[in-house]
């Protein structure tokens, strides 16, 4: 399985902030326009889980370690400190915007008005 090199990009189009995933291998947009980090994360998880060809042992694509209360318990507990605080799989780790083009796009949009 080849995992695509996806990057999350923030932009400003048609008067609103958007997010989308770009496939850096193919140099094109891989996802539809998304309006929140939550939507971007859900699309990304579904994409990666759809690419996996082996038997899936998880019953849900959401990792239970991401739950806020569980994370807080681990961080405050002196009995156990995990070296990997957000899960074992790369899909368990939080996503983040890697390229923010929104300011430049917004300035162009405002100059046209």
62 found inside a domain: yes
Residue 79 DSSP code: S
Confirm if 40 and 22 have CB atoms less than 8 A apart. no
Q: Is residue 22 part of a domain?
A: yes
Structural domain span for residue 28? 6-112
pLDDT at position 11 is 97
Q: Which residue stretches of the chain are H helix?
A: 37-51, 68-76, 102-112
What distance in Å separates the CA atoms of residue 92 and residue 67, rounded to the nearest whole number? 11
The predicted pLDDT at position 33 comes to 97
Asked if residue 76 is part of any domain, the answer here is: yes
> Within a domain: residue 108?
yes
Please report whether residue 80 resides in a domain.
Answer: yes
Decide if 44 is inside a domain. yes
Structural domain includes residue 1 = no
**CA neighbours closer than 13 Å in the CB half-sphere of residue 68:** 0
Q: What is the pLDDT of residue 63?
A: 56
In DSSP terms, 8 is beta-bridged to 21
* Number of folded domains that form the chain: 1
For each successive 10 residues of the chain (113 residues), what is the average pLDDT?
Answer: 87 96 94 96 88 72 57 63 56 87 94 82
């Amino acid at each position: 399985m080849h995992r695509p090199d996806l990057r999350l990009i923030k932009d400003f189009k048609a008067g609103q902030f958007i997010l989308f995933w770009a496939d850096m291998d193919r140099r094109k947009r891989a996802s539809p326009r998304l309006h929140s980090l939550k939507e971007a994360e859900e699309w990304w998880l579904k994409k990666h889980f759809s690419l996996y060809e082996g038997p899936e042992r998880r019953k849900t694509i959401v990792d239970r370690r991401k739950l806020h209360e569980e994370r807080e318990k681990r961080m405050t507990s002196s009995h156990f400190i995990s070296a990997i605080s957000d899960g074992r799989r790369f899909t368990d780790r939080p996503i983040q915007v890697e390229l923010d083009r929104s300011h430049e796009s917004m300035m162009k949009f405002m100059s046209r008005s």
